[in-house]
Amino acid sequence: MKRIFIPLMVITIVFSSCEKIVFKPDQASSDPLTNFDYLWEELDKKYSYFELKNLDWNKARDYYRSRLNANSTEEELFDVLAAMIDTLRDDHSNLFSPFNVSSYNIAIRKPANFNWRTLNEYYMPNMWSTGVFSHDFLDSGRVGYIRYGSFMSEFTEEQMDFLLKRYKDTKGIIFDVRENGGGSVFNVPKILKRFTQTEVTAGYFITRNGPAHSDFSERENFIVTPYDGIKYLNKVVVLCDRGSYSATTLFSLATKAFPNMVLMGDTTGGGGGLPNGGQLPNGWTYRFSVSQLLDLNGKNFAEDGVPPDIQVSFNGNDLTRDEILERAIAEIK
Amino acid sequence: MILSKINTCKSGLMLMLLFVGFNQTKAGNEVAASDSVKPAVRYWQSSIGLSNPSYRDFATSPLFYRGVGFNISTGWLKRSAKKERLFDMLLSVAPMSATIPASNYLKRAVTSTFAQMSLRYVQLYEIKSLSQHKNKYKAGFALHATQNFRMNRFLQNNAAGVENVSNVMLTGQVMRDVSRSSEKKVNLLFFKPTLKPVKRDLRFQLNVGVLNFNYRPGYAFAYEGYLTSNTSPLLWILNNYSWSLNGWRTQGELELFTYLEGGNARSWTYVWSAMHIPGKFENFQMAMHQIKYTVFFQRTKKKS
């Protein structure tokens, strides 16, 4: 048996040692400066909106790195990294530690333009719930109202069929995405394809593809192809506000390319970039935007928010009225 | 520094080959390997075992993820003294976790799920000039395609890693007859079993990639690609993946193959594999240790 075990042991030892030789050691580290440098470099290599936001990233490194040293605590490290990320003014850029998550929180920097109770109590007390949608008639049946609270929420084509059949005889639909913080981009064309009978190019995407802040891929098209089934081609008023973020900003920007759609309310929160994700040497994770959303003229303003076609504000002093909703009804009339 | 380490590694491999190739002068008095390897024996094989994968994808993390899981495989083997062909499919699944520095605040487990599917075809030919009574040497090539599926929800939109590694490999094999030709009593103090004669081979195979293809994500990993009403999420994720021809891959396996009565067989195998995939932008590195128990069912050739 020795003849078997000796070579077996030799082979096992040699292979195990080879693995340690051919790969560099694990780079796990709790050193604050190592973690700072790693995050700064990843952002420098891949973040997509330095130019739009006019950020001097080298200056940011000098400023924030000087606030750390080898003995900085985890809490101090988190605060410094979070502050550096916040200079991006981007809610797609966050730091995730076991004890806290950083967020720029765009939605609370402007007034809210939505109050669920106002809608429910004073306009539609018996609203229907179909899957993720809340909906009802307004203005004596002449207007349909559909509320979609999150693009994270999945829905079926049958549910969309049901909604559009119910409101097929209305003059217009109000599609409310205020305070919709985004979610799956695939749900954006899934809704929009119901509102057109022709193919619509609604925007473009570009993604970082090189180390210079201006290195981007070729434009990728965002095209809405019409649904082969029940559609709604009357006027659609989309309600948005600063809480309409990420996929909802994509949705809002796309409405500009639809002749039967009107965007109303406040400028959206933005979040035009696709966030990627990564991990620091200390195990914390992060995400930040690596792409840009462009309008049909190739402009990237959507990152800072899509302005509405009709600006209307919600007056929080009188919670019996939703001024944005009433303006939308008037627009359809 | 690295070069010297690699040289050390190469020296180790040479040493190992010497051990496996061992004392050919002794071979003449013992049972011949060729007795147990009759022309064109066909097997259907199935195996089960444990895996110990570790990987690091620099595109998303500088940390190694390690885990212990299981593997199953199936395939067929046709072996004769002159030629050998093997086709097998392997599935390996393992929960993984990264070793992260201790925290003075809250501890956090960063975990991922790893699955690997592999297809492999090996064709070997006897090297007559080296083969002797007890030791059989073969050389040839292997085609090896591996698809990784990694899911790490902590990485947000980069949660899914689906790299493919496909290689054309040069393969060398040495098979040594280590049969026990007569009964042998073993003295283990209170237990003194008698070991019966058994036919078996010890086989070592080394595969080294010569054409190393890999399919890896683009510069930023996440990519906002062409989007329509009908875009498949899976295809959208793969939008910016591309093929590269670079890196290296090696695999070694040591098998103790025991012949059973009736023509069937079983084996224990230790497999070690490692790959380094630069892709176009950032490196992916992976190693895996596997222990497999395989049963071989002899197939009879259909008469025409």
pLDDT tens digits, one per residue of A282-316 = 999 999 999 999 999 999 999 999 999 999 999 98
* ∠ CA B88-B91-B96, rounded to 5°: 145
Chain A residue nearest residue B248, CA to CA: A22
Q: What mean pLDDT comes out for the span A4-31?
A: 74
Low-confidence ranges of chain B (pLDDT < 70): 1-38, 301-304
Instruction: Say yes or no for a CB contact (<8 Å) between A285 and B154.
Output: yes
Tell me how far apart the alpha carbons of residues B43 and B54 are, in angstroms, rounded to a whole number.
32
Nearest to B229 among A18, A193, A282 (CB): A193
Instruction: Say yes or no for a CB contact (<8 Å) between A279 and B62.
Output: yes
- What residue type is assigned to position A82 of the chain? A
Model pLDDT, residue B303: 55
Nearest to A208 among B16, B22, B219 (CB): B219
Residue A105 pLDDT more than 70? yes
Interface A–B counts its CB contacts (< 8 A) at 211
Percent above pLDDT 70 for chain A: 95
Instruction: Say yes or no for a CB contact (<8 Å) between A220 and B226.
Output: yes
Domain A32-104 fold:
Transcription Regulator spoIIAA (3.30.750)
Residue A73 pLDDT more than 90? yes
Chain A residue nearest residue B18, CA to CA: A7
Instruction: Say yes or no for a CB contact (<8 Å) between B178 and A4.
Output: yes
- Choose from B14, B219, B285 for mutation: most chain A CBs within 10 A: B219
Tell me how far apart the alpha carbons of residues B270 and A8 are, in angstroms, rounded to a whole number.
9
Mean pLDDT of all residues belonging to chain A = 93
> Domain residues of chain A, as ranges?
32-104, 109-272+291-332
In chain B the domains, ranked by start, together with CATH numbers, are 2-299 (2.40.128.100)
Tell me how far apart the alpha carbons of residues A36 and A195 are, in angstroms, rounded to a whole number.
47
Nearest to B101 among A38, A275, A283 (CB): A283
Instruction: Say yes or no for a CB contact (<8 Å) between A21 and B6.
Output: yes
Q: What mean pLDDT comes out for the span A145-169?
A: 97
For CA atoms A136, A264, A328, A251, give the dihedral sign.
negative
Q: A281 to chain B: which residues are within 8 Å by CB?
A: 62-63, 101
- Choose from A18, A160, A206 for mutation: most chain B CBs within 10 A: A18
Tell me how far apart the alpha carbons of residues A49 and A295 are, in angstroms, rounded to a whole number.
15
DSSP string, B176-238: EE--B-S-EE--BTTB--EEPPB-EEEEEEEEEEEEEEEEE--TTSS----B-TT--HHHHHG
Local structure of A25: helix, strand or coil: coil
DSSP category for residue B85:
E
Note the CATH number of domain A109-272+291-332: 3.90.226.10
Instruction: Say yes or no for a CB contact (<8 Å) between B225 and A10.
Output: no
Tell me how far apart the alpha carbons of residues A123 and A105 are, in angstroms, rounded to a whole number.
30
Single out the residue of A252, A263, A237 nearest to residue A329, CA to CA: A237
Model pLDDT, residue B11: 44
How far is residue A275 CA from its own chain's centroid? 8
Instruction: Say yes or no for a CB contact (<8 Å) between B15 and A14.
Output: yes
Instruction: Say yes or no for a CB contact (<8 Å) between A11 and B64.
Output: no
Tell me how far apart the alpha carbons of residues A87 and A278 are, in angstroms, rounded to a whole number.
19
Nearest to B220 among A4, A73, A208 (CB): A208
Nearest to B157 among A23, A190, A274 (CB): A274
Instruction: Say yes or no for a CB contact (<8 Å) between A22 and B274.
Output: yes
Buried-state track B143-174, b at ≥16 Cβ within 10 A, e below 16: ebebebebebebbbbbbbbbbbbbbebebbbb
- Cβ of A77 under 8 Å from any chain B Cβ? no
- Choose from A2, A11, A215 for mutation: most chain B CBs within 10 A: A11
Rounded to a whole number, what is the distance in Å from the CA of A158 to chain B's nearest CA?
16
Instruction: Say yes or no for a CB contact (<8 Å) between B222 and A22.
Output: no
Tell me how far apart the alpha carbons of residues B130 and B20 are, in angstroms, rounded to a whole number.
13
Rounded to a whole number, what is the distance in Å from the CA of A256 to chain B's nearest CA?
17
pLDDT tens digits, one per residue of B244-254 = 999 999 999 99
Q: What mean pLDDT comes out for the span A60-85?
A: 97
* ∠ CA A68-A73-A77, rounded to 5°: 50
Instruction: Say yes or no for a CB contact (<8 Å) between A18 and B225.
Output: no
- What residue type is assigned to position A232 of the chain? Y
pLDDT tens digits, one per residue of A107-146 = 888 888 999 999 999 999 999 999 999 999 999 999 999 9
Instruction: Say yes or no for a CB contact (<8 Å) between B221 and A276.
Output: yes
- What residue type is assigned to position B157 of the chain? N
How is residue A328 written in tokens?
């939308």
Burial class from Cβ neighbours inside 10 Å (0-12, 13-18, 19+) for residue A70 reads exposed
How far is residue B28 CA from its own chain's centroid? 32
Local structure of B288: helix, strand or coil: strand
Instruction: Say yes or no for a CB contact (<8 Å) between B155 and A279.
Output: yes
Single out the residue of A8, A325, A68 nearest to residue A173, CA to CA: A325
